[in-house]
């Protein structure tokens, strides 16, 4: 005998569950599945009815089932909540970028100013010390804001991509 097509795998059930549906023993089903034995007539008729039901259900729209509708509604709620959280995080990181950019640019302008004033011919000794202090502060500020600014921008790009994925998932529902 030949091995039978495995309807129970299509249904996603175990050998025991299939045997219980057909009112036979698990051993009888196992032997039928492996092609070593045939099924009792009543079990064959029921199996035929199950196969016909599967073929008919494939033609029907499974999305109309109450359980599937409920699941789709739950998915929509979760995706909408994730999208709202994403939008909040995107707004937050955008604000952080604006604040960090402002500080970073101010430190750059401080360096430009010290460079301009240092090249001036009318520079005095007290002014040199002041310029060095301003330059040190500016360099520390650049070090302090530069890397976080980069991280914020990367985070922003990731959030923007995530928003696209979430919107696409919502459109599929």
Render each residue's pLDDT in the chain as its tens digit; 173 residues.
Answer: 455 667 888 888 999 999 999 999 999 999 998 889 999 999 999 999 988 888 776 656 666 778 888 999 999 999 999 999 999 999 999 999 999 999 999 999 999 999 998 887 788 888 889 999 999 999 999 999 999 999 999 999 999 999 999 999 999 98
Would you state the pLDDT for residue 62?
Answer: 66
Would you state the pLDDT for residue 2?
Answer: 55
Q: In the CATH hierarchy, which fold is given to the domain comprising 7-60?
A: 434 Repressor (Amino-terminal Domain) (1.10.260)
Would you state the pLDDT for residue 73?
Answer: 93
- The rounded distance, in Å, linking the Cα atoms of 115 and 146 is 20
Provide the sign of the torsion angle of the four alpha carbons 162, 164, 167, 171, taken in this order: negative
Would you state the pLDDT for residue 74?
Answer: 96
Determine if the pTM surpasses 0.85.
no
| Beta carbons of 110 and 145 less than 8 angstroms apart | no
Longest Cα separation, the chain: 110
- List of residues 6+ apart from 173 with CB closer than 8 A: 72, 75, 76, 79
Would you state the pLDDT for residue 61?
Answer: 64
Would you state the pLDDT for residue 4?
Answer: 64
């Amino acid at each position: 005998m030949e091995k039978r097509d495995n309807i129970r795998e299509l249904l996603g059930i175990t050998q025991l569950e299939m045997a219980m549906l057909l009112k036979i023993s698990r051993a009888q089903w196992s032997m039928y599945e492996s092609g070593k034995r045939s099924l009792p007539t009543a079990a064959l008729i029921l199996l035929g009815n199950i196969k016909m039901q599967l073929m008919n259900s494939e033609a029907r729209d499974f999305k109309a089932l109450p359980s599937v509708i409920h699941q789709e509604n739950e998915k929509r709620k979760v995706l909408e909540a994730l999208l709202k959280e994403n939008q909040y995080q995107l707004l937050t990181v955008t604000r952080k970028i604006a604040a960090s950019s402002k500080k970073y640019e101010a430190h750059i302008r401080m360096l430009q100013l010290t460079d301009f004033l240092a090249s001036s011919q009318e520079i005095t000794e007290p002014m040199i010390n002041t310029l060095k202090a301003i330059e040190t502060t500016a360099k520390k500020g650049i070090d302090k804001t530069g890397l976080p600014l980069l991280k914020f921008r990367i985070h922003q790009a990731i959030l923007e991509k995530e928003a696209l994925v979430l919107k696409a998932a919502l459109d599929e529902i």
